[in-house]
Amino acid sequence: MVLDEGGLRRSVLQLPIKSTRQTFCAASHAPKRGSALPFTNARLSTLDLWKLPTAKEPDTPDLRQLSSLKELHGSVALYDKASASGLKRAGFSAQELREAGFSLQELRDAGFPAEELTGMGCSIKALISVGYTTEELREAGISAMSLRKAGFSLRDLRRCGFSAETFLQVFSLSLQQVLELGFTAAELRVAQVSAKHLKQAGLSAQDLKDAGFSATALHRAAVPLRELWRLDFPLCELKKAGYDVQSLGKLCSLEDLRNAGFSTKELQRAGYDAAELHSAGVPLSDLKGFGLTGLKGLATAQQLRTAGFTAWSLSKAGFSMHALKEGGFCVKDLRDAGFSAWGLRNCGFLLRDLHHAGYSEAALKAAGFQLQDEDLGSSTRALRNFGYAAADLIDEFSLQDLRTGGYSCADLAQCASASELSACGFSIVEMRKAGFHPRMLLGFGVDQLRHAGVLAQELWPSVRLPELKKAGYCCWELKLAGFSATQLEEAGFSVWALRTAGCEP
């Protein structure tokens, strides 16, 4: 806008040609931006300033103040600053530019997407005529059928990114026709085409595997098992696909079948015996289904006991009592298995073991154990007669009770000290016979040990010579203990005593 001589604001395009030319000529000689304009009585609008040859594009808010885009469009031929791309950057929509008189080609060149133009009602042919590609039209939401009717070929639609499912459902093409368009097996798998139909269309098992089809899908497509095995499908997938032990057993080992997840029962039903399964690493506890008859020759009684088999079941399978005893079964296990006290006695079990296992007195007598009627109670004597050692009863009975029950000093020596045994009335002689060394009995005094028959050499060197002499040991006994004549003389023995003992002073 400019101010004419009458002071009215009018559009530059509405001024007379001469006035317009003078305005632009004056503007062409205007100083650089920032200096005063040569117009003293004129004020230029945003549009007028924008039309200056040296002016830059204004900001969007400034352009939004213009009354008409047509003025900008009309000035394009002169200054090329109101182009569609410039106005697009300024924030104007395609609809506004179209109403201002811009052509579709100008809008296309300005970078407006096809989606915005279709929203204005532009036809597909019009969009094609200005250069929009099939990819741009597809992204604009135009259907494959509409593009096909607009003249695009099936290969054009394939290249622009329409899925295989579109060609199968929208255009009702056959699977062979879709394959001829260049679709891969993987794309057809995404389109929910089965492996069976792809195999019928001529694709190989390798193509189907590479496309991501599982062993189950190929099995349903009637692909032979050997071909699947050749394609290196894992055994676990083949098992999941439905192949049984008999089929897979022809291709791999028993250990491979176990690693694939087949259970012992499945392998047993397939015909594998206990020996084969055990050699393949199947534990005995998992082979109970074969019964002990089938396992008897594979493992010892101890191994079968560890696997959870009872003495009763092993005895029924033919294991002897001695084999069960060596296998670690206790007397109670053998009693529960039905063995008699007589048999257990012959097998080497003690009376106390049988009594503890619950055999009655009558059964024990019938087994040949010699028991008195008074021995069948709960006294220490009865327990001793049943074979209980003193160490088995020491926590429940006192030493005096055990001695009263008939336990000797030797029986109690394993669970009591010398002083405790002495308190129970056992003598030094009894304790010596029980295995106590004289040096362990020094607490009783050297003189008592001498009276009990302990020799001097048994006490030396724990007891010194003066103590031995004081306890009553004579010169002859001390000489036998290894003392010299000089030592004996220094200990106070007389010359007569030394000569009597055979020592020369």
Query: pLDDT at position 69, please?
Result: 53
In a domain, 126, yes or no: no
Q: How many Å apart are CA 241 and CA 212, to the nearest integer?
A: 15
- Report whether pLDDT(143) > 80: no
Query: pLDDT at position 110, please?
Result: 82
Query: pLDDT at position 505, please?
Result: 61
Q: What is the pLDDT of residues 454-504, one digit of tens each?
A: 888 888 888 888 888 888 888 888 888 888 888 888 888 888 888 887 876
In a domain, 372, yes or no: no
Query: pLDDT at position 422, please?
Result: 85
3-class DSSP state of 133: coil
Query: pLDDT at position 183, please?
Result: 87
3-class DSSP state of 21: helix
Cα dihedral 243, 249, 253, 259 sign: positive
Last residue of a domain, one of 308, 326, 344: 326
- Report whether pLDDT(21) > 60: no
Q: Hey, what are 77's tokens?
A: 């031929």
Residues of 470-498 as b/e, b for ≥16 C-beta within 10 angstroms? Answer: ebebebebbbebebebeebbebebeeebb
Q: How large is the average pLDDT for residues 218-235?
A: 87
Identify the residue with better confidence: 144 or 34: 144
In a domain, 438, yes or no: no
Q: Residues 107-112: contacts with CB within 8 Å, 24+ apart?
A: 108/132, 109/84, 109/85, 110/83, 110/84, 110/85, 111/85, 112/88
- Report whether pLDDT(311) > 50: yes
Q: Report the range out of 182-186, 271-275, 371-375, 499-503 with the highest average pLDDT.
A: 182-186
In a domain, 435, yes or no: no
Q: What is the pLDDT of residues 115-140, one digit of tens each?
A: 777 777 787 777 777 778 878 787 77
Q: How many Å apart are CA 231 and CA 205, to the nearest integer?
A: 8
- Report whether pLDDT(286) > 80: no
Query: pLDDT at position 436, please?
Result: 87
CB-CB neighbours of 365 under 10 Å = 13
Q: How many Å apart are CA 289 and CA 456, to the nearest integer?
A: 74
In a domain, 331, yes or no: no
In a domain, 488, yes or no: yes
Q: How confident is the model at residue 371 (pLDDT cuts 50, 70, 90)?
A: low
Residue 103 main-chain phi, psi, to 5 deg:
-80, 165
Query: pLDDT at position 238, please?
Result: 86
- Report whether pLDDT(34) > 70: no
Q: Which of 32, 56, 43, 40 minimizes the C-alpha distance to 3? A: 43
Is the distance from CB of 470 to CB of 454 less than 8 angstroms? Answer: no
Going from the C-alpha of 159 to that of each of 118, 183, 246, the distances in angstroms are: 22, 10, 49
Mean pLDDT of the chain: 75
- pTM score, two decimals? 0.43
Query: pLDDT at position 93, please?
Result: 84
What residues have CB less than 8 Å from 503, skipping those under 6 apart?
475, 479, 484, 485, 488
Query: pLDDT at position 370, please?
Result: 62
Q: Which of 312, 270, 313 minimizes the C-alpha distance to 295? A: 313
- Report whether pLDDT(362) > 70: yes
Residue with tokens 């004056």: 26
Across 194-198, 268-272, 313-317, 457-461, least confident range: 268-272
Last residue of a domain, one of 326, 345, 366: 326
Q: How large is the average pLDDT for residues 74-89?
A: 60
Q: What is the pLDDT of residues 296-310, one digit of tens each?
A: 667 788 878 888 888
Query: pLDDT at position 293, please?
Result: 66
Query: pLDDT at position 388, please?
Result: 76
Identify the residue with better confidence: 194 or 78: 194
Last residue of a domain, one of 326, 346, 371: 326
- Report whether pLDDT(58) > 80: no
By DSSP bridging, strand 2-3 and strand 9-10 are antiparallel
Cα angle for residues 119, 120, 126 (degrees, 5° grid): 100
- Report whether pLDDT(24) > 50: no
Q: How confident is the model at residue 179 (pLDDT cuts 50, 70, 90)?
A: confident
**Domain total of the chain:** 2
Q: How large is the average pLDDT for residues 59-84?
A: 49
In a domain, 303, yes or no: yes
Q: Report the range out of 25-29, 129-133, 287-291, 382-386 with the highest average pLDDT.
A: 129-133
Query: pLDDT at position 99, please?
Result: 81
What residues have CB less than 8 Å from 401, skipping those under 6 apart?
380
Q: How large is the average pLDDT for residues 249-268?
A: 79
Query: pLDDT at position 73, please?
Result: 52
Q: How confident is the model at residue 71 (pLDDT cuts 50, 70, 90)?
A: low
Residue 9 main-chain phi, psi, to 5 deg:
-85, 120
Q: What is the pLDDT of residues 144-177, one digit of tens each?
A: 887 778 778 888 888 877 888 888 888 878 888 8
Q: How many Å apart are CA 116 and CA 213, to the nearest integer?
A: 41
3-class DSSP state of 255: helix
Query: pLDDT at position 331, please?
Result: 87
**Domain of residue 306, residue span:** 273-326
In a domain, 502, yes or no: yes
- Report whether pLDDT(354) > 60: yes
Q: What is the secondary structure of 79-110 as a DSSP string?
A: H--S-HHHHHHTT--HHHHHHTT--HHHHHHT
Q: Report the range out of 130-134, 197-201, 363-367, 439-443 with the highest average pLDDT.
A: 197-201
